[in-house]
Chains A and B, each alone.
Chain A
């Protein structure tokens, strides 16, 4: 109220709504200088910096994402390799086990064969010994029998041919009758 009244009262003196010319000049001049320095020179600089900052932040995020993806790929690779290695190890173990079993079987086979061979050899030896003993016995028995027979019969049986013929016949009989018993 008071203000309006005083405004009206001083209409002639200095109406605050009428601009001073020199103030207009100073105003436009100072504004243009500010507009040139701030608006033309400085604002583009900060805009560039802000854009760079955005770029840097987004670039950083992108780089981090890339690194993460890379790490994941690497991890997957390692995991695959590990699985592969485990499989390989299992396979090798299996193979070794098989091989061991095979070797064991072979060795057993060999041992058995060896044992059989030894037994057979022993059998053969025994047989041979038996045969030898038998042959010796036959000769001995022949001589003893002829001696005995000669003494009993009293007749010389020195004649070689006859003697051996009699002995052989005797032994053959003996052998056929005793074959089972010997075996």
Chain B
């Protein structure tokens, strides 16, 4: 990266790729109020947006849907048919409240990354996915113990029936580790890392475009700037898809964990 930028940029003032430090460690919006940063503002905005839109759609739902109800119903149906029902079966309706909340909130968090001006995916700060993953994790363990018993839950998790005995020496610790420690961690980190990397990619290519076309326009650098702009546009499209996909995955994993705790034979 440095060799390339040295070659293309005019001497003295060279292009520097944005660092995570400057991309993600944002200063407080109001000086002095240390906690009120951009991600915090966007997290609040997301919550308000989710509540506002859902309220507009579902506060007084019509038998024949119109306007915003149609659109949000589409999201509801998606969660119900693609997330809840495959993993929860007939229990799906009881968990729709949680799953819809999780899906809509994560989706809006993620989409904040491509909204002009705002342009920061809330989930790229680990705290936000971690909170959701933790809630789901707590629910998973609680439901598992409630429905399968304290011993039964761990027995079903670590000793799935129908395997030769020696395997269990290997399998039991792995299953325990994967279910109790790795699963919640990956649940949060998968979302976080995708948003983090996506934001870095977009920031990098838009920086390339901005730098080579506006800041230091040179005949040699201009094509690189064009590539940067084109890539930014293409990657924004990809990013929207990934943001939606990650929200779907996050909700789907939540449904899977809940379903697994309700019905161990899953």
Contacts and interface: CB of A to CB of B under 8 A. Distances in A.
Q: Do the two chains bind?
A: yes
Interface of A: 2-3, 6-7, 10, 13-14, 16-20, 22-24, 26-28, 30-31, 33-35, 37-40, 42-49, 52-53, 56
Given A33-B51, A39-B96, A42-B58, 15 more contacts: A10-B20, A14-B20, A16-B20, A16-B196, A19-B125, A19-B127, A30-B105, A31-B101, A31-B135, A34-B47, A35-B97, A43-B76, A45-B60, A46-B58, A49-B63
Interface in B40-67: 40, 43-44, 46-47, 50-51, 54-55, 57-63
B20 A34 contact: no
B175 interface: no
29 contacts: A3-B197, A6-B19, A10-B19, A14-B24, A16-B192, A17-B126, A17-B192, A19-B125, A20-B35, A20-B127, A22-B34, A22-B35, A23-B40, A23-B43, A23-B127, A28-B135, A30-B105, A34-B101, A34-B105, A35-B97, A38-B97, A39-B96, A39-B101, A43-B58, A43-B97, A43-B101, A45-B59, A46-B57, A48-B61
Nearest to A33: B47
Most buried by A among B51, B62, B73: B51
A37 B96 CA distance: 13
B100 A39 contact: yes
Contacts of A33: 47, 51
Given A3-B200, A35-B101, A27 B20 contact: no
Interface string B67-93: 000000100100000000000000001
B127 A24 contact: yes
Contact of B51 (A38, A53, A56): A38
Contacts of A35: 97-98, 101
B182 to A, nearest CB: 15
B184 to A, nearest CB: 13
Interface residues on B, range: 35 or more
Contact of A18 (B54, B105, B126, B131): B126
B158 interface: no
A105 B196 CA distance: 115
Interface of B: 1, 17, 19-21, 24-25, 34-35, 39-40, 43-44, 46-47, 50-51, 54-55, 57-63, 73, 76, 93, 96-98, 100-101, 104-105, 124-128, 130-132, 135, 189, 192, 196-197, 200
B43 A27 contact: yes
B71 to A, nearest CB: 12
Given A2-B1, A22-B35, A49-B62, A30 B46 contact: yes
